[in-house]
């Protein structure tokens, strides 16, 4: 909520946002962790069938941002998706990681916990 609203304090804007996000009728749609687990399980079944130990899934700046299938976000980066263990998302800019951290601090359940900037 970086935009300033005339006559509204930052605290008022944040309170309004929290109220909207806590109401299922007005919250932005997100995938559940159950859906994430279902997707990841299907991908891992395919990886086992093809004898793959790891996938590198590109999102980058193209039209097909495949990383979103794994992250439920548009990180414009690369997801390192191992056959076993948690994936890592590598992104180009810190702003994507900051947005991810802010969402988590507001109670959002991130699909991928490990977010890293490619070039520090």
Summarize pLDDT for 84-93 with one digit per residue, the tens: 999 998 888 7
Distance of CA 53 to the CA centre of its chain: 23
Q: Using a cut of 0.95, tell me whether the model's pTM lies above it.
A: no
CA distances from 47 to 77, 81, 84 (A): 21, 10, 10
Say which residue, 8 or 48, is predicted with more confidence: 48
Alpha-carbon distance of 20 to 98, in angstroms, equals: 21
Locate the domains of the chain by residue range: 53-120
pLDDT of residue 27: 56
Give the torsion through C-alpha atoms of 35, 57, 67, 40, to 10 deg. Answer: 10
């Amino acid at each position: 909520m970086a935009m300033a609203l005339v006559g509204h304090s930052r605290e008022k804007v944040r309170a309004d946002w929290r109220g909207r996000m806590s109401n299922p009728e007005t919250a932005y749609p997100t995938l559940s962790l159950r859906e994430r687990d279902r997707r990841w399980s299907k991908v891992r079944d395919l990886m086992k069938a093809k004898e793959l130990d790891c996938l590198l899934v590109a999102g980058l700046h193209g039209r097909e941002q495949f990383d979103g299938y794994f992250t439920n976000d548009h990180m414009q980066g690369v997801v390192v998706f191992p056959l076993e263990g948690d994936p890592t998302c590598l992104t180009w800019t810190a702003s994507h990681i900051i947005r991810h951290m802010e969402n988590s601090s507001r109670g959002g359940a991130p699909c991928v916990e490990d977010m890293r900037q490619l070039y520090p």
